Structure 1
Amino acid sequence: MLSKLERLVDEIGDLNSKLILLVGLSRSGKTHLLRQLAANLAVEPLNISAVLARRLAAIPKPKRSFAVGEELREVCVRARMDEVLLLDNLELLFEPGLQIHPLELLKGLAHCKRVVAVWPGELRGDRLIYADLTHQEHCDYSREGVVIFEI
């Protein structure tokens, strides 16, 4: 499975959106696979929820929705341009108070750099789902413009 993902990471560089989402059921090994890829590429994966929580804590709540995109880009810019950006623990991006579209934010990061992210939800047909329909953080996105790597 790791060799398939490595091949896909190499091939995605020619696409407009260079976003690969690792999608699978809870405890299916998405984070483990991301860490294996990180070890092979000598790249440190980013725990987005932990990093952004620290950065956003200093920003007043009403301004966080405007700041989160810039804060995420700043964190990601620290990675070298020739590296692949590896993202895990995206749950904070789905916080309703932030009033952002997490998938669009990830797609924006992937225009300039290859991005591999662990999707914290599931794939149903051609839809990327985060949380139950009854949950306040529920999101439902088309998989258009994203390369899905199912585990």
Structure 2
Amino acid sequence: MPEPIQNRIRQSLGQAKNLYYRLVLLLGESGAGKTAALRTVAGELGTDVINVNLALSAKLIELTERQRTLHLSALFGRVVEESGTIALLDNIEILFDHGLRQDPLRLLQSVSRNRCVVASWNGAVIGSKLTYAESGHPEYRSYEAADALIVNMNGSSGLDAQEGQRA
């Protein structure tokens, strides 16, 4: 019987405490159950799941396009700081908006330096690459090295090889 996803998330949080980037990516397609898993873990930890799209869009709405690009990193950092020592992030699509001209993985890594972060990631590991969205989609991204712990909704989990060398 496969291990429940919530157990793998909690195990990864324990492992992440010792890494340079304390980032756990919960990988799966849309509808795979990432949100439900995050909510269950949040309930067990006594914290909330942050809807990044909602939290950031409220802060960005009054800014010009240029201001959004300049201030996104700091605003995102404040949203995550409010979560405490562990941040559970869902609905991160706004980070991939091309108009914001940001690298979403680097944003997640930067906020995971001082706290453990679990982020729902609509993608997969294909070969040695971490992907977000499907090839041809406007938000599609591909990364050679994730520098994060990966928990896949399909049952696999592990440490990205590059991160293991940096930790």
Question: Is the CA contact 1:89–1:120 (under 8 Å) kept in the aligned structure 2?
Answer: no
1:111 is aligned to 113
Tell me the percent identity. 30
Q: Structure 1 residue 40 and structure 2 residue 44: aligned?
A: yes
Q: Deviations over 1:20-77 (max 9, x none)?
A: 0000222111111111100000111100001111110011112211111111011111
Q: Structure 1 residue 59 and structure 2 residue 63: aligned?
A: yes
2:133 is aligned to 131
Over the residues paired in the alignment, what is the CA RMSD in angstroms?
Answer: 1.3
What is the SS of the residue equivalent to 2:24? Answer: strand
Q: Equivalent of 2:12, from 8, 20, 23?
A: 8
So what's the TM-score if we normalise by structure 2? Answer: 0.84
Gaps of 5+ in 2: 154-167
Question: Is the CA contact 1:128–1:143 (under 8 Å) kept in the aligned structure 2?
Answer: yes
Question: Is the CA contact 1:90–1:118 (under 8 Å) kept in the aligned structure 2?
Answer: yes
Question: Is the CA contact 1:127–1:141 (under 8 Å) kept in the aligned structure 2?
Answer: yes
Moved over 6 A (4+): none
Gaps of 5+ in 1: none
Q: Give the CA deviation at 1:138.
A: 1.9
Q: Which has the higher contact order (CA 8 A, sep 6+)?
A: 1
Q: Give the CA deviation at 1:106.
A: 0.1
